[in-house]
Amino acid sequence: MDHELANLKALVSPDEILTRNSPGFEEESRTWAVQANRHPATVFIPKTVEKLSEVISYANTTSLDIGIRCTGIGNATAKDVLISLSTFKSFSFDPREETIVFGAGHCWGEIDQKVEEQAPGYAAVSARCTYVGVGGSILHGGQSWLSSEHGLACDPQNLLDAQVVKMDGSVVWASSEPDLLWALRGGGGGFGMVTAYKMRVYKYPSSIFSGQIVYPPEALHDIARETAAFASRCSDPKMALHLYCLDMTAGTYAGKEPKPGLAFAVFDANGPEHGRGPDGFKWALDIPGAVDLTKTMTLREVNQQFDQSKAPFGKLNTWAAGVTVPAVDEDLILRAWHWYLHLLKKDPRLVMGTYVLMEVMQKAVYQSLGFPSRVSAWPHTQNQHNLQLGTGVVPGSPESDALAYKAMAEGPYEIRPGHTGADYFPNFIEDFVDPKKVYGVNWNRLVEIKKRYDPNNKLGGPFGHQ
């Protein structure tokens, strides 16, 4: 294996290699969840598609364990070689087609900035946090503030094409190989290395009412009642609401002392007058104890307001589950908060990285393609809203780790009776999730495409070694 690694290193220049003693190695190789990090021996950072092609075509013939990191905050790792795409930063805007083409090395905050500067008045179906990498989010679905109007980032109306380095080193635009493009639309990155994306952009307002509304814990029942009422009546695709434990932005997730609480993140692209009015979020501002931190922002600024939640990156053992739910009602909210508080009572150390996040969405997010969708790898869902759960703790406590893992594996079933293994979102496929249920009617086709494009299963993922 040593000679294989030496041969691989010989293919690139010294400034395209990081070893464990190199400056920047930790930044390029760390994972969001500490326990996921396999501590690669070497990080390769090819500067060109041609060099990446040489690296992957040779690595594919070796016994080396490899992983691909687009950028961002995921858990991409490997025992031997981690290949980073962080240098791929190209960007262009075509005003006639209303499309952008951009490199896989971007985080969404960089794309937000470039769209704002080079395509003013437009917006992409980007992630809602600036530090999320474009690759991991697009290929596993990709939820955006725009999703209630335009669907997921991976949907065919948004992801138009992708440049891929295949395992034999050849470079194609996936539209020339329809099965490949189909698999990339929600099937993840296990079919080849995507180096660039072509996406639709949309004309979008630049005056958005957004921000946090923070509440004391005793407001829980008022919040549950009013949130459920909002979720049942609102059908405006330019409005969205997140309900979460305050710790995500005022405690550990902001690098501060953990303190459970309650908060909304509100979003109204109809503008501030609408956002504060009776057809907007006046009801949320009127809940007793509300602390109004909202203001008028651009989409880029909306996404920037959550930058502080990157604080735990690479510091905690964490597990996550993202599930879709048919309705956000009072009982769901109360059960979720009971689960959260009961878990912290069992082990207060889990306050460091445990959260509940409910996302009130519109039907277009998952249902614009019909269900089950045969035009994208992930068949989508009949559900409308999201429930995201996370558990985490500082490394060094096996008992806390075991409790955190068990809580995450069982939490969706406890909080939402009727939850099934098919309700998981493809961003969150931990080992307690059955990917066959997640991908349902499209599973067999994905396994076949995986065998064709990555027969040695060098890129891993749920579809290999069947």
Classified by CATH at the fold level, domain 208-435 comes out as Vanillyl-alcohol Oxidase; Chain A, domain 3 (3.40.462)
pLDDT the model gives residue 248: 63
How many residues are given for the chain?
466
Q: What pLDDT does residue 194 have?
A: 97
- Give the C-alpha separation, 437 to 381, whole Å: 11
Fold agreement (91-204, 208-435): no
Domain range annotation of the chain = 2-84, 91-204, 208-435
Question: For 2-84, which CATH class?
Answer: alpha beta
158-180 residue pLDDT tens? 999 999 999 999 999 999 999 99
Strongest mean pLDDT among 71-85, 182-196, 344-358: 182-196
| Architecture of the 91-204 domain | 2-Layer Sandwich (3.30)
Check residue 367 and give its pLDDT.
87
Kind and range of the H or E run holding 285:
helix 282-285
**pLDDT surpassing 60 at residue 77:** yes
State the amino acid at position 129 in one-letter form: C
For 293, residues 6+ apart whose C-beta sits below 8 A from its C-beta are: 211, 212, 213, 214
Is residue 109 within a helix (H) or strand (E), and if so which, with residue range? helix 108-118
CA proximity to 304, closest of 40, 84, 127, 85? 127
Q: Which of 4-8, 164-168, 310-314, 408-412 has the lowest mean pLDDT?
A: 310-314
Neighbours of 26 (CB within 10 A): 13
Per the DSSP assignment, residues forming a β-bridge with 323 are 387, 424
Between strands 208-215 and 291-297, the pairing is antiparallel
Query: What contacts 422, CB < 8 A, 6 or more positions away?
Result: 381, 437, 438, 440
Proportion of the chain above pLDDT 90, given as a percent: 82
Report the chain's mean pLDDT, rounded to a whole number: 93
Q: For residue 122, what are its two tokens?
A: 């437009």
Specify whether the CB–CB gap between 181 and 191 falls below 8 A. no
Q: What is the value of pTM for the model shown?
A: 0.94
Give the residue among 164, 188, 183, 166 at the shortest CA–CA distance from 174. Answer: 164
pLDDT at residue 449 in the model? 97
Band of residue 71 on the pLDDT scale cut at 50, 70, 90: confident
